[in-house]
Amino acid sequence: MGQLFGRLVTLAAKWRRPIAVVVAVLFIASAVAALVALDRYMQAAIGPRTGPLVLEEIPAWADRSNELIQKVIAAAGGVRLPLTEDLAAHLASRLGEVAWLDQVQVRLTPLDVRVKARWRRPAAVLEIGGSRFYVDQDLVVLDFIEIPGLDVKKIEGVEWLGKPTIGQVLPCEDLRQGLELLALLESMDMTTCPTSPLLSQIDRIDVSNYLGRRDQRSAHLAMYAKDGTKIIWGAEVGSAARYLEASEQEKLARLYSFYKESGTLIGLVKYIDLRPAQYQLPTPMDRYQIVPH
């Protein structure tokens, strides 16, 4: 009997350490499981962790429009968002439907969600069906909102049946011509008179007689200064030679020479005709003469 008891004591001493290890492992596993369960319970009780929405690299012109910024924030779902795994994909999809944004990129960090995009800058204002719209250089229709400090020119006479929808591309060649003419003037302003741009005195571009659809004998394109002075451009951009008119470079040179010499387009002459290949611009004295249209 004594020998049997001795053997039991020896066996217990031999297995005491492994049993203690197993008990410790089971205890740690139970503790981890309890912590995981507690974390899930807390998440269910208080919801997922949230972080701020950060709009990166906003253009200065867009940042000045609180209405535009709020439109983007509303489309995102607010200024604080749940930092869930699927947030980036869902947010990119939602913001991709905002006409003002293109090439949307969403990056999720442990602290916030960051959005970078190409913002569509309005290139012109249109009025169709009694409503005003912007279009950008890609002919994409944007809803009209106030953008402080952005002097967007009107293009009138664009022919379009029905009312365009926001985000739609308007495949209108008359509109494209108006935008090309504005782009030529903007380029000249940047190179010749950046501090006092000629475009600041232009009110609108008129493309109503595009390709002579209303009157073959009249200029196809025209501009109007803010006082109503008419600037007769003539044929569509790229078609001057076909109508034996001065080239685009000559027209621009003459217009800007007149502007620099006079200091203004406003209140000096009744109109400026840029079409003739050999041409001398009217002088301020022409305001006292009767000039036929």
**pLDDT tens for each residue of 90-133:** 999 999 999 999 999 999 999 999 999 999 999 999 999 889 99
174 with 234, same domain: the answer is yes
Asked if residue 157 belongs to a domain, the reply is: no
CA-based Rg of the chain, rounded to a whole angstrom? 35
Asked if residue 240 belongs to a domain, the reply is: yes
Domain that holds residue 62: 50-119
Chosen domain end from 47, 63, 84:
47
Check residue 32 and give its pLDDT: 53
Q: How many domains does the chain have?
A: 3
Local confidence pLDDT in tens for the 293 residues of the chain: 555 545 544 645 565 566 554 455 465 666 556 565 555 555 544 557 899 999 999 999 999 999 999 999 999 999 999 999 899 999 999 999 999 999 999 999 999 999 999 999 999 999 998 899 999 999 999 999 999 999 999 999 999 988 999 999 999 999 999 999 999 999 999 999 999 999 999 999 999 999 999 999 999 999 999 999 999 999 999 999 999 999 999 999 999 999 999 999 999 999 999 999 864 455 554 443 334 43
Asked if residue 143 belongs to a domain, the reply is: no
Return d(Cα 171, Cα 140) in angstroms, integer: 9
User: Does residue 197 contact residue 219 with C-beta atoms inside 8 Å?
Assistant: no
Q: CATH number of the domain that 98 lies in?
A: 3.10.20.310
And the tokens for 236? 């569509």
16 with 104, same domain: the answer is no
32 with 88, same domain: the answer is no
And the tokens for 6? 């001795």
Mean pLDDT for the chain? Answer: 86
13 with 34, same domain: the answer is yes
111 with 209, same domain: the answer is no
Check residue 255 and give its pLDDT: 97
Asked if residue 144 belongs to a domain, the reply is: no
User: Does residue 280 contact residue 290 with C-beta atoms inside 8 Å?
Assistant: no
